[in-house]
Amino acid sequence: MDIVRDESVKRRKRRKQILLGVVAGIVILGITLGVSRLKPADPTVEGTTIWPDVVKRGSMLRQVRGLGSLVPIPEDIRVISAETDVRVERILVLPGTPVKPDTSIMELSNPQVEQEATDADLQVKGAEADYKNLQVKLQGDLLTQKAGAATVNADYDDARRTADSNKELVKIGVLSDQAWKTSQGKAQELATRNQIEQDRIAMNTKAIQTQLDVQQAKIDQVRALAQLKHKHLEDLKVKAGISGVLQEMPVQVGQRVVAGTILAKVVQPEHLKAELKVPETQAKDIQLGQAAEVDTHNGVITGSVMRIDPSVQNGTVTVDVKLEGELPKGVRPDLSVDGTITLERLTDVLYVGRPAFGQEKSTVGMFKIDPEGKRAQRVSVELGRGSVTNIEIVRGLKEGDKVILSDMSRFDGTDRVRIE
């Protein structure tokens, strides 16, 4: 009887162990299924690392920004170049020095230029001497011709008087009619010769002036050449030409330069414009005359758009801004500046600070912060027209909503974040 009782106890223990194992398995399976169905915890972002902003309604200025520099206005620049092949002998003024029109900047040398100027002067004197010689010769020839004409005129007067006298003698029968006709024919011949001589004198007088004019033209030609050579000689002493500041001098003492080489550049620093480089995607709405502000980092200058480059270079469009008003101290050519151009003023629009992601007229996902400021939910937002610091909200947000503008691309895989 004792053996039978032991086996019964063992069977009950075995059934109990099996039942406990089944229950434990069911519990473990349930826990596993429950854990698998739990949503992962929202990622966390530090509140000090985000850039929040509040959606507002009101007026918004549409603006574009460009970096650039101040450059002289072309009509107020004097670029001095070498007229001939020269050698730099002395530099009298260094870049940055204020100059006046008669300020000597440098001295050049070219022996050939000096010799050509002397030769040109001699050619002018030779041409003037030739003019005087020709004038004396022509006047002498004219006097000789006038003397011959005077003789013919005297002969004509004698023949005319003889013919008149013979006519009277014919009337009284003292002289034959044939003798009278002969004297009359001679008078007519001399009258014709006298007229020819007078015409020749008049013609030769005009011819004299013509020949003198030809010789005078030669004088003017060599004189113009001499003036050019003397100008080249004077250009060896380089002068500023205008009042301003000597900006550049890309040559050195002793250097030889060929004709056309730039020797110096003089600018008027008070006559400057801003040359801005605007991204091509933002330059499409820029128009002539639009208001602009140029920050010289020592003051802001107002201005207006005066030129828009029709071409695109390296992804930017060059926009020239005319500066208005007094320039701040320290402003000079090639100074780096920041420019802001006002495109238009939008009224009664929803807008928010420009986010670090997304372009104007596009749809982006933005994290909207809940009223408690503890969590942020991704929402789809349609953006409208943009400005430098703000952008229009077309739909997806309302006035008073608080959103994150900083880069949240590391959370692209989630729609909610916790803010700590």
Instruction: Report the mean per-residue pLDDT for the chain.
Output: 84
Q: Would you kindly state where each structural domain of the chain is located, as residue ranges?
A: 47-71+271-419, 76-108+236-267, 112-234
Q: How confident is the model at residue 320, as a pLDDT?
A: 93
CATH number of 112-234: 1.10.287.620
Q: What percent of the chain has pLDDT over 70?
A: 90
Q: How far apart are CA 49 and CA 121, in angstroms?
A: 83
Q: What is the pLDDT of residues 302-340, one digit of tens each?
A: 999 999 999 999 999 999 999 987 888 878 888 899 999
Q: How far apart are CA 276 and CA 120, in angstroms?
A: 51
Q: What is the pLDDT of residues 373-419, one digit of tens each?
A: 888 899 999 999 888 888 999 999 999 999 989 888 888 888 888 88
**Is 190:156 a contact under the CB 8 Å cutoff?**
yes
Any idea which fold 47-71+271-419 has? Elongation Factor Tu (Ef-tu); domain 3 (2.40.30)
Was domain 76-108+236-267 assigned CATH 2.40.50.100? Answer: yes
Residue 35 binned pLDDT confidence (cut-offs 50, 70, 90)? very low
**Residue 14 CB coordination number (10 Å):** 10
Q: How confident is the model at residue 393, as a pLDDT?
A: 92
Q: How far apart are CA 217 and CA 209, in angstroms?
A: 12
Decide if pLDDT at 55 tops 90: yes
Q: How confident is the model at residue 359, as a pLDDT?
A: 81
Q: How confident is the model at residue 146, as a pLDDT?
A: 79
Residue 83 binned pLDDT confidence (cut-offs 50, 70, 90)? confident
Report residue 204: phi and psi, to 5°. -70, -30
Structure tokens, 162: 């003889």
The residue type at 170: V
Q: How confident is the model at residue 142, as a pLDDT?
A: 76
Q: How confident is the model at residue 138, as a pLDDT?
A: 81
On whether the pTM is more than 0.85, the answer is: no
When pLDDT is averaged across residues 153-172 and rounded to a whole number, the result is 73
CA distances from 35 to 27, 28, 385 (A): 12, 11, 47
Place of tokens 């943009």: 386
Ranking 139-153, 155-169, 256-270, 294-308 by mean pLDDT, the lowest is 155-169
